[in-house]
Chains A and B, each alone.
Chain A
Amino acid sequence: MRSRAATFGLTAAGLLAILILTLLVFGMPVGASLRLIVEGAFGDKYGVARTIVRIAPLLLTGLGVTVAWRAGMYNIGGEGQYVIGGVCGAWVAKLIAGSPSAVATPLLVAACIAGGAAYGALAGWLKARRGVNIVISTILLNFIALQILSWAVSGPLRQRGSTLPWSDELPRAVMFYRPDHASDLHAGVALALVAALAVYLLLFRTRWGFLVRLVGINPRAAQVNLIDPNRVQVAAMALSGALCGLAAAVQYVGISGQLSVEFSQNWGFLGIPVALLGGLHPGGLLLSSAYFGTLRAGTANLARFSQGGDTLVFVIQAVAVLGLAGIRGYTSLRRPVAEAV
């Protein structure tokens, strides 16, 4: 058993190696590209703010994925749950426009969470009741959600008097508190940290969390103990969707303040590799979301100066996940264990 520090060091070195290799493969100048990435992520206080506000949604969608996957539900639908969360938030914002911010802000966040939870629970329910493969249903629901968003911002939620598909802009008072209006850093980021702690306590320190992990590892063992795996799984999907909805709230009430078809910046998809590389554990997720949040902020800067920058994150995440899966498979094959086909 290797120590945690060694594992962390190896992983960090591996991720850096993947980054450099990726740059080499695409024929981009390594030194200059790395400098642009680092400058984009940490260059000045705005850079640091850009990085932090990118870590928060990744951490939240990663937590969402973690809860579902721990229950054995391969939720690929974080993107859809995120989007529906945002649409619900904007819808409520329109309904309660003009109410004081002390009421409006919590209601908006709650609406985002509820929307994501409902959309996640829908996929869970389809699995439990009709046996629809969760991977396929959540993916199809992603596409449907994107169309719902597009319809909402060009129809019922469109800004009055605007011809562009945008929703109303939230008043500044309703948005999360910003210490400095020149930078993106906002108080909603703290919600992500709170959520990470809450998910950790829930999964590893409560009876329900134990049930989630039990159902994920061995649904039959749950069943013989008179626990209905379906119920636990549907609830886990709802919580998973709720966390993705919270990610949408952090982006909507914290950053964008309005919805457009661009609202979804793949945060839901990118949560999957974040969760996997974080070992489906909130502690690990803090590290992996920090790495990929930094990379996203950095490559956005890289993209301003070179062809093809921000899609690099996909490549690096994918290679890292494939590498990890391969290494895990290889080491478990070499370990002599009773074969269970």
Chain B
Amino acid sequence: MNEILAILPYAAPVAYAALGETIGERSGVINIGLEGTMLFAAYGGLVGVSHFHGPYPVLVGLLLGCLFGVIVAVGSGFLTVLLKADQVVVGTAINLLALGVTGTLFRVEYGHSGKLLSVPTLSRISGIDWVVAGLVVAVPAVWLLLHRTRWGLAVRSTGEYPRAAEAAGYSVPRLRLQAAALGGALAGLGGSYLVLGTAGGFTENMTNGRGFVAIALVTFGRMNPWLVFGAALLIGYLDALQLELQAKGTAVPREVLISLPYLVALIVLVGVGKRRVAS
């Protein structure tokens, strides 16, 4: 049981990002910039926690992270949904922008001495903090939202057959932007939790592919929040296992362990196969 609890802080960032991406992809938008969104939010978490001196600085960090996530997601949604720019082009640029902006700001603000910057983190009760516990609520909530509300039905129809949603009187761009904003908030929570929960500090490019893995998880989980969450647990487990095995020391090369999450994500996508070929 403790083992499962121990992997949750590693699974949570990817899980939140993947849940958010599930909503976005249901609306028919794939956010290649998810990695950058998380990185911006991680920096937002750092800024919030280190510049706010009132009560609950960690909470402020998380909220600022969410806000950053929403801003980035809506900004890229503005380009892809309203101006109909290419999703891959915009997403790639967002990732690059996040890398450049957070890297430059971090160096300008904290110096590039590479000194270990540690920040206060969420308090945990037997290894569980409220962001991790929140997954218990978030997963069914996203499922209910998508499958048991009028808005969710509209969003899903927007993704599957936009003309039907339009004919039913919905505005496709508005629904997609709403979905993007919600997805951005969740990705923002995941990204800032990376700083304020998982790692307790910020390093350049600290998301290190988690956003991309989250996109892969949504495909793996076939856009079903429960399956996506299960897949996130698997990746979190590999992430935790990798660190534990490295600490213990094994005959397996370190590099094999580090690449496990990516390797498994890729193998799984190959296994899922033709079931979801993009049109």
Chain A interface residues toward B at CB < 8 A: 26-27, 74, 76, 126, 130-133, 135-137, 139-141, 143-144, 147-148, 150-151, 154-155, 269, 272-273, 276, 307-308, 311-319, 321-322, 325-326, 328-330, 332-333, 341
Contact = CB atoms under 8 A, between A and B. Distances in A.
Given A135-B32, A341-B162, A144 B263 contact: yes
6 contacts: A130-B273, A131-B274, A139-B209, A140-B269, A308-B104, A322-B94
Interface in B209-232: 209, 212-213, 215-216, 219
A155 B86 contact: no
B163 interface: yes
A155 to B, nearest CB: 7
Contacts of B103: 308, 311, 314
Contact of A325 (B85, B255, B265, B266): B85
B79 A326 contact: yes
Given A132-B269, A139-B209, A147-B259, A308 B108 contact: yes
Interface residues of B, number: 52
B213 to A, nearest CB: 8
Nearest to B162: A341
Given A132-B273, A314-B100, 6 more contacts: A130-B270, A136-B269, A137-B269, A308-B108, A321-B96, A329-B82
Contacts of A26: 104-105, 108
A315 B89 contact: no
Contact of B278 (A130, A133, A272): A133
Q: Looking at A140, A144, A329, which has the most chain B CB atoms within 10 Å of its CB?
A: A140
Interface in B28-71: 32
A317 B96 contact: yes
B114 interface: no
Contact of B92 (A133, A143, A272): A272
Question: 7 closest pairs, A vs B, by CB?
Answer: A314-B100, A329-B83, A318-B97, A315-B100, A308-B107, A311-B103, A131-B277
Contacts of A141: 266
B151 interface: no
A143 B84 contact: no
Given A133-B219, A140-B262, A151 B256 contact: yes
A184 B126 CA distance: 57
Interface string B72-108: 0000000100111110111011101101110111111
Contact of A155 (B107, B253, B276, B278): B253
Interface string B103-134: 11111100110000000000000000000000
B241 interface: no
A326 B277 contact: no
A23 to B, nearest CB: 10
A25 to B, nearest CB: 9
Query: Majority SS of interface residues in chain B?
Result: helix
A330 B83 contact: yes
Contacts of A321: 89, 92-93, 96
A150 B258 CA distance: 11
B255 A307 contact: no
A311 B93 contact: no
A140 B212 contact: yes
A269 B85 contact: no
Contacts of B79: 322, 325-326, 329
Interface string B181-215: 00000000000000000000000000001001101
A328 B84 CA distance: 9
A237 B112 CA distance: 38
Q: Looking at B85, B258, B277, which has the most chain A CB atoms within 10 Å of its CB?
A: B85
A144 B258 CA distance: 9
B90 A322 contact: yes
Contact of B253 (A136, A151, A273): A151
Contacts of B108: 26-27, 307-308
